[in-house]
Structure 1
Amino acid sequence: MLGETRGNRKHQSDKLKGGSETQSSSSLKIVSQVEVECVKCDSCGFTEECTPAYISRVRQRYQGRWLCGLCVEAVKHEVVRSESVITTEEALDRHITFCREFRSSTVLNETEHPIFAMGRLLRRSLDSPKPLRSNSTGALGVKTLQLIRSESCFSSISG
């Protein structure tokens, strides 16, 4: 009787495993079928990939305008930090005005743009030889003694 119970449990667990595999494969199909769209922030110009449902929710909150996550947080902060009580619409207008003025006042050429600077920095770090970090005395010109091994590190097995 005990053997039958164990056998039934094993059979039931096999069924559960099979069911979870089916569930996971069907959920993988759902994940792979999610469509995303590229959308550009109406405030800063940043482009993000988002689902149409998320895009719709953000546009409903911000009078039909799309805002990236950073600008959404900036608008929320504007509402909180304002000395007088302002609406989200007023905070949004202030933020968009700020972004426009900032972009028009700062003319960056390609060499000054932060993204290009980071690219140059990355290329330089990849092209330069890497110093040994563990040998800090080597950079100071200090001679170090080397250990000389007289025998094998492995013990011999003699039969």
Structure 2
Amino acid sequence: MSGQVLRKVVSDVSVEINKIGKDLDNICPNIDEVTQAECECCGLREDCTQDYIKTIKDSYSGKWVCGLCSEAVKEGLIKRGSIEEAMNSHTKFCQEFNSSTRLNPKLSFTMSMRNIARRSHENKEKIKYHTMSKISRSSSCVPRIDFTIKQS
């Protein structure tokens, strides 16, 4: 044992990892760092690259929106006609939701039911107004003749 020297043992796996790591630096030197973006409508945060954030902001009037809000804005675009109006409408909706529903879900349910009842009443009034004719009748249109003869 007197002539033996201790040698450092190196795993083949660690050698391969070091080779791959050096190759990756040469292949992909400009990988975008992931940053956290916050939706300007609902406040949701997502991890995104700078290029993706820029693409979304370019599409939505300089504001970053999450995937769910972007779908809602697309639907609002059909109704409103401009991206700014659709964004403002959806942002207002999200602010109302965050201030009422998240804070007090029972109150929000009550308010939602009230709004449904109000809309239903308004729709009935519209239908009633449009179906009413200008001349209304108080009795039947079909004349009746009484054939009973009274004998005295």
**For the superposition of Structure 1 and Structure 2, which TM-score range results when normalised by the shorter chain?**
0.3 to 0.5
- TM-score by structure 2 length? 0.47
Larger Rg: 2
- TM-score by structure 1 length? 0.45
